[in-house]
């Protein structure tokens, strides 16, 4: 594979300070021909970031700077690397309208994008960022009434993200579809969710979405698995869902990390990016 299609930048409030250019140089050094910057889009204005440090995304005031910097790099390195600018957009149930407003505004600037579920609403109406920390995950499991309802809610939200009308610029790729398993070695999977997972892939196929084959989970000490794991990647491949690799790097050194574990798969550069 010649590209990394899920990459963060210095604009992410929970990542390293490495500048976008450092990521570009690392991608070139790796021999890549494609790089997609997919910074966390700012959360909807009326939504309060439930992460303890409220650092889940980029600052809303930095969106222009991010796009401008990306476009300059795009030009500067155009002979060495195809740089795509985009966002990893949160799907938060109940905030579809504001999410669409963001996409309608910045969509015309976006070459690529990912839609992800990180935020879940508990029965008591409070929200949790499910990948923030082991402690927060444990707290979420308590408030949801156990791991089973937490997992169930995750897959329901993922399903809703596929169905949601977010307008013309809705991202075409679905992020890390087994993120709920990030802490699985501390909180073992409560039951078989393969039916729900397969259903997600079937709807993705029907609606024409790409799969973010995300190696970050391999390096999470309580996950140690690609998002999604091998059997689901194989299932997606069999259905003909485009498999698009992403390192989910939050530091320049992470570009392409773990891609050697993806060599069995037929990975694709999204067609719309090859024009």
Residues at the site binding Zn ion, with contacts judged by CB under 5 A: 116, 175
Report how far residue 99's alpha carbon sits from residue 7's, in angstroms, rounded to the nearest whole number: 20
Shortest Å, Cβ 175 to Zn ion: 5
Q: Which is nearer to Zn ion, 3 or 175 (CB)?
A: 175
Shortest Å, Cβ 181 to Zn ion: 13
Shortest Å, Cβ 216 to Zn ion: 8
Shortest Å, Cβ 88 to Zn ion: 5
Q: How far is CA 130 from CA 16, 71, 223, 230, in A?
A: 21, 32, 13, 22
Residue whose beta carbon is closest to Zn ion: 116
Q: Which is nearer to Zn ion, 116 or 178 (CB)?
A: 116
Q: Which is nearer to Zn ion, 17 or 206 (CB)?
A: 17
Is 241 in contact with 210 (CB distance < 8 Å)?
yes
Is 57 in contact with 76 (CB distance < 8 Å)?
no
Q: Which is nearer to Zn ion, 107 or 254 (CB)?
A: 254
Report how far residue 66's alpha carbon sits from residue 264's, in angstroms, rounded to the nearest whole number: 35
Cα-based torsion angle of the residue sequence 155, 124, 189, 94 in order, rounded to the nearest 10 degrees: 20
Half-sphere exposure of 270 (CA within 13 A, CB side): 26
Give 253's DSSP letter: G
Shortest Å, Cβ 82 to Zn ion: 22
Q: Which is nearer to Zn ion, 62 or 80 (CB)?
A: 62
SS3 state of residue 73:
helix
Shortest Å, Cβ 16 to Zn ion: 11
Q: Which is nearer to Zn ion, 69 or 88 (CB)?
A: 88
At 62, give phi and psi (nearest 5°): -105, 0
Report how far residue 102's alpha carbon sits from residue 35's, in angstroms, rounded to the nearest whole number: 23
């Amino acid at each position: 594979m010649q590209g990394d299609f899920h990459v963060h930048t210095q604009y992410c409030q929970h990542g390293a300070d490495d500048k976008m250019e450092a990521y570009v140089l690392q991608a070139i050094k790796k021999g890549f021909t494609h790089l997609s910057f997919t910074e966390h889009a700012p959360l909807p204005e009326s939504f309060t970031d439930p992460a303890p440090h409220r650092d889940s995304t980029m600052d809303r005031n930095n969106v222009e700077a991010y796009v401008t910097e990306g476009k300059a790099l795009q030009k500067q390195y155009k002979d060495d690397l195809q740089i795509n600018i985009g966002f990893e957009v949160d799907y938060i149930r109940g905030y579809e309208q504001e999410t669409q407003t963001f996409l309608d505004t910045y969509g015309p600037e976006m070459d690529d994008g990912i839609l992800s579920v990180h935020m879940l609403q508990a029965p008591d109406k409070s929200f949790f960022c499910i990948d923030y920390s082991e402690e927060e995950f444990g707290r979420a499991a308590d408030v949801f009434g156990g791991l089973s309802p937490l997992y169930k809610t995750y897959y329901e939200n993922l399903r809703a993200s596929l169905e949601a009308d977010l307008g013309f610029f809705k991202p075409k790729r679905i992020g890390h579809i087994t993120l709920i398993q990030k802490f699985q070695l501390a909180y073992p999977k409560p039951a078989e969710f393969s039916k729900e997972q397969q259903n997600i892939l079937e709807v993705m196929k029907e609606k024409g979405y790409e799969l973010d084959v995300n190696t970050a989970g391999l390096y999470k000490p309580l996950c140690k698995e690609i998002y999604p794991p091998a059997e689901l990647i194989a299932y997606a491949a069999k259905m003909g869902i485009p498999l698009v690799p992403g390192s989910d790097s939050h530091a320049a050194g992470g570009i392409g990390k773990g891609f050697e574990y993806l060599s069995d798969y037929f990975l694709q550069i999204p067609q719309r990016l090859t024009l």
